[in-house]
Homo-oligomer: A and B are copies of this chain.
């Protein structure tokens, strides 16, 4: 049995390029007891991949999570036909040991989705869903009637945060990079949406959108836009830093500069906290988030949008496009065209 995989040849320098990846084929070994062979159905492309690869030493198989179906099995725990969600990398087929750790996005059975699409296990009912659920509710501690601002609002996480904020009775303002995304955000019930790429006076547009100031800021982007948003925060405001995508594509050795942040954090007595969602990857806690997200989706309180790229061979294209903001909602790759 053969498998396709993408190898990352070198560190990205600036925006990722297709030439940074090599599509390779390898022969898979025979299964040993306790192992199974699975085939990717959906693969995830996420912003975190850009900074995380910086800590690794190329060449290596590109990192990432997928929903895969078990094709052959010598494991009672993972029978043929069952599905797993696992950090198996950008691979079309993989031989996996049933003992692979489940924590830290190792691997777990793909359960609890019911009638919801399988791909949701990579988005609203997976890591990005819990990122929105815990990262917003636990860190921002939003109260009814407060004002919430979200950047990257039309992305996988941001679009969920904005909808969770509405469920909690907050006013929600989103930033996104196209008018179409802003229209979509308003259709989701956002009170206002600002196109940060075309808006000529972001400070004034934001001021008009948040008449009572900002209590919670869910930050996916960092950099200058975040600085300007923090300027309009209320005393004792909370900032949840989920991502810093505006600077992920800085060239090696270059770092964007912004005004010193301490003055605004100090004089407004802001609480600014960064988080990685694995902190909630504890017995019971993780699944609680997934279950709540799935329930809200079934109740129609949260709408899910995906941008699906067809074909495993298009993984780099999907990843590069996602970092450019070409996706609306969760960016996923469907491994095979049906």
Q: How many of these chains are in the complex? A: 2
In the complex, chain B residues whose CB is within 8 Å of the CB of A188 = none
Q: A residues 37-76 with Cβ under 8 Å of B? A: 51
**Residue in A258, A265, A268, A269 whose Cβ sees the most chain B Cβ within 10 Å:** A265
- Cα(A270)–Cα(B169), bound, Å: 28
Interface residues of A in 258-294 (CB under 8 A from B): 258-276, 279
Say which residue of B246, B247, B260, B262 sits within 8 Å of A274 (CB atoms).
Answer: B262
**Contact between B262 and A267 (Cβ–Cβ < 8 Å)?**
no
Residue of B nearest to A256 (CB): B260
* Cβ of A152 under 8 Å from chain B: no
How distant is A237 from chain B, measured CB to nearest CB, in Å?
10
Instruction: Identify the stretch in A173-181, A219-227, A313-321, A330-338 within 8 Å (CB) of chain B at 4 or more residues.
Output: A219-227
Q: Is A252 an interface residue (CB 8 A)?
A: no
Quick one: closest B residue to A250, CB to CB?
B260
A226/B274 contact (C-beta < 8 A), A257-B257, A279-B269 known = no
5 chain-A/chain-B pairs, Cβ below 8 angstroms: A51-B267, A247-B262, A256-B260, A257-B258, A261-B261
